[in-house]
Structure 1
Amino acid sequence: MQIQRGLYKGQKLQRAATSSIRPCTGRVKKSLFDTLLSRIDIDESRVLDLFAGFGNLGFEALSLGAREATFVDQDRRSLSSITTTADKLGLRKEARIVRHDVTRFIALAPEHSTYDIIFCDPPYSWPDYEGLIALIFHKPLLAQGGWLLIEHDARHRFTELPEYAFHKEYGNTVVTFFTPTGACS
């Protein structure tokens, strides 16, 4: 697992020895960043990486010029890996690493905390995707003109949600894109 573009292209991300973390594949990551880059300027953006795992998506955004990335996960091994990668790349000031339950983190976030890009990659067995999406938009954590990307399996469809914009399918993996206004692709 490595950074594909930008300033840190080719740098490998630290991984912990665990099978409980399902990182975004290189093919999916390339496609979703191609899609994002055609819609938003990542340079100087604020990024939130929920269920961060090894920080694959947040570090890719930092490599492309994001101002800061907040990585949220409750697994100590994940956060240790993120910390090691941030140290290796000299990104400790830009990488905010938070050990917290994701739903509690969202609920406790200050009202003025907004992000331009939110990556959300819960376990495929997550019991309430719609509730998680509603919580993010209710807070609101996503800035106007920003994008929320949720990675999930093919069982879930969110086309009826008002913030739904479009989705991309990669076999059993689906990434759904949301905006505050639900602008179509």
Structure 2
Amino acid sequence: MRIISGLYKGRRITAPKKLPVRPTTDMAKEALFNIINNQYYFDAISVLDLFSGTGNISYEFASRGTEDITAVDENYGCIKFINDTAEAFEMTISTIKSDVFKFLEKSKQKHSIIFADPPYNFELAAFSKIPELVFKNELLEEEGVLIVEHSKHTDLSQLEHYSHSKSYGGNMFSFFTK
């Protein structure tokens, strides 16, 4: 994986093979950030990266100037890799080792963007729990957005607060707003 744009543009990041991850493809990530770039100033937002895995999305935000980034994953190896990479690149990424659903139930901090990249094999009930908890606990700022990455074979359009989806190859991004 590589960083697409910003201060660390072109830098390659190689995650250990033993991590249980499926990083967002460069093509899908570039398309997603083109959308976000037209709506937000990266240096003025707060980002919550759920199911953060390798930290791929967090690094992209940090490279573009975002300083308020929290990455949440339940896998110790993923959290350690994110911490080590963030330290090497001098990025301000806070990490939390936690089950994402338990974290969302307890969290009170609001964010401009919440990005969730859960396992593609989640059941619809597990996918639906993400926006349910985000909106119930009011974790988005006024003009904030929840973006959920999933397979093109998963349809989240019937979930509450759904706005629209964008498809890139086998990847889909579903957007949820207030």
Same fold? TM cut 0.5: yes
Q: Structure 1 residue aligned with 2:112, among 88, 112, 116?
A: 116
Structure 2: which amino acid aligns with 1:85? T
Q: Aligned-pair distance for 1:67?
A: 2.3
Q: Does the 8 Å CA contact 1:149/1:178 hold for their aligned counterparts?
A: yes
1:76 and 1:14 mapped to 2: Cα distance? 17
Shift of 1:20: 2.4
| Structure 1 residue 86 displacement after superposition | 0.6
SS at match of 2:43: coil
Deviation at 1:162, TM superposition (A): 4.0
Q: Distance in 2 between matches of 1:24 and 1:148?
A: 16
User: 1:35 aligns to what SS in structure 2?
Assistant: helix
Identity of aligned residues (%): 32
* Corresponding position of 2:98: 100
Q: Residues 133-148 of structure 1 correspond to what in structure 2 (within 5 A)?
A: 133-148=131-146
TM-score for the superposition, normalised by structure 2: 0.93
The answer as to 2:26 corresponding to 1:26 is yes
Give the AA of the match of 2:114. Answer: I
Q: CA deviation at 1:142?
A: 1.2
- Do the aligned partners of 1:49 and 1:72 also contact (CA within 8 Å) in 2? yes
Give, in whole Å, the separation in 2 of the partners of 1:75 and 1:61.
21
Q: Write the distance in 1 (CA, Å) between the matches of 2:14 and 2:94.
A: 16
Give the distance between the partners of 1:19 and 1:133, measured in 2 at CA.
Answer: 26
Q: TM-score, normalised by structure 1?
A: 0.89
Deviation at residue 145 of structure 1 after TM alignment: 0.6
Q: How does 1:34-183 map to 2 (within 5 A)?
A: 34-91=34-91, 94-110=92-108, 113-127=109-123, 128-180=126-178
Q: Distance in 2 between matches of 1:82 and 1:14?
A: 11
CA RMSD of aligned residues (A): 1.4
Matched pairs, number: 176
Shift of 1:7: 1.2
